[in-house]
Amino acid sequence: MEKTFNLYNKAKKLNNNQLRELIRCGDYKGQTAGLSQNMLQTNLIILEKKYALHFMVFCQRNPKACPLVGVTDLGNPFFKTLGKNIDVRTDLPSYNIYKNGMLFDTVQEITQYWNKNLIAFAIGCSFTFEHLLIKHGFSIDHINNNKVVPMYKTNIKNISSGPFGNSMVVSMRIIKKNKIDDVINICKSFHWAHGSPIHYGDPKEIGIVNTNKPDWGDAPRDILNDEAHVFWACGVTPQNAILKSDVPLCISHTPGHMLITDISQDAEIPILH
């Protein structure tokens, strides 16, 4: 555990290129919250061409959970507009492989799975604005403790497109009640990284029965009387949609293990390609 935490602290000091190189060679396999300060991190979805248009429409219909910021050319594993030589086959710490709507495997690189019929999609991630929250004095528990942010399935239905539907996934952070308005104001401009929270207070109102048992990520600590659970739309939403589909192959990031880009958090709108 101490070795893992030390490696995480080392990774915090690296620039984008150094960090991606550490990931690419397999030396860093951990979660990415708190890394690459002030840069856009993204969720990843890779699909066969047959499903690409349906997925783009799904993102368009559900922009809060799925703010699409990058698309590769067919068969090309590089995101040309998100940075230099960003290779989707090797540059994430961990990947999930889904087959026929079920999680098949979790791997550290996907070279063996890549083929000329695949398209990769990058979706903005809330890890992007956490650096600004910290700058404004907020304490982010999962960063402090090198844990994966807790994520939950909700009762908020997505607008379907083709095989993609199901319900929204949210990520959760514990915030002081008297600071929630400040959080909303800080995050609202990050529309390409989920923006302001969608809910705070009673988790049961959005279908979350037990916050101590997240569907993805690590269990959070108990909240204090002056704190509240605050929920953001989450880019794991497409993976939840995959679980209710018959899509033969989908490759994604492992929740909490993101793609680090060279796009500044201050960019107005990242350019799609």
| 142 and 80 belong to one structural domain | no
Rounded Cα–Cα distance for residues 56 and 71 (Å) = 9
Rounded Cα–Cα distance for residues 77 and 153 (Å) = 30
| 140 and 156 belong to one structural domain | yes
- Residue 85 to residues 80, 90, 161, 261: CA-CA distances in angstroms? 7, 11, 31, 10
Phi, psi of 227 (to 5 degrees): -120, 165
Give the total number of structural domains in the chain.
2
Tokens, residue 86: 């960003």
| 154 and 257 belong to one structural domain | no
**Is there a domain that residue 272 lies in?**
no
User: Exposed/middle/buried for 185, CB within 10 Å: 0-12, 13-18, 19+?
Assistant: exposed
What CATH number did the domain enclosing 73 receive?
A: 3.40.1640.10
Mean pLDDT (whole number) for 27-43: 93
* Count of C-beta atoms within a 10 Å radius of residue 151: 24
**Is there a domain that residue 270 lies in?**
no
| 122 and 167 belong to one structural domain | no
Comparing 86-90, 168-172, 226-230, 267-271, which segment has the lowest mean pLDDT?
A: 267-271
Query: What share of the chain in percent tops pLDDT 90?
Result: 89
- Residue 46 to residues 204, 226, 239, 254, 273: CA-CA distances in angstroms? 32, 41, 11, 12, 15
- Residue 233 to residues 71, 153, 199: CA-CA distances in angstroms? 21, 10, 9
Q: Which domain holds residue 175?
A: 129-233
The amino acid at 269: I
**Is there a domain that residue 169 lies in?**
yes
Which three-class secondary structure state does DSSP give residue 32?
A: coil
pTM attached to this predicted model? 0.94
Residue 271 pLDDT greater than 50, yes or no: no
**Is there a domain that residue 104 lies in?**
yes
| 24 and 57 belong to one structural domain | yes
What CATH number did the domain enclosing 145 receive?
A: 3.30.2040.10
| 133 and 82 belong to one structural domain | no
| 181 and 76 belong to one structural domain | no
Mean pLDDT (whole number) for 29-42: 93
State pLDDT tens for residues 52-65. Answer: 999 999 999 999 99
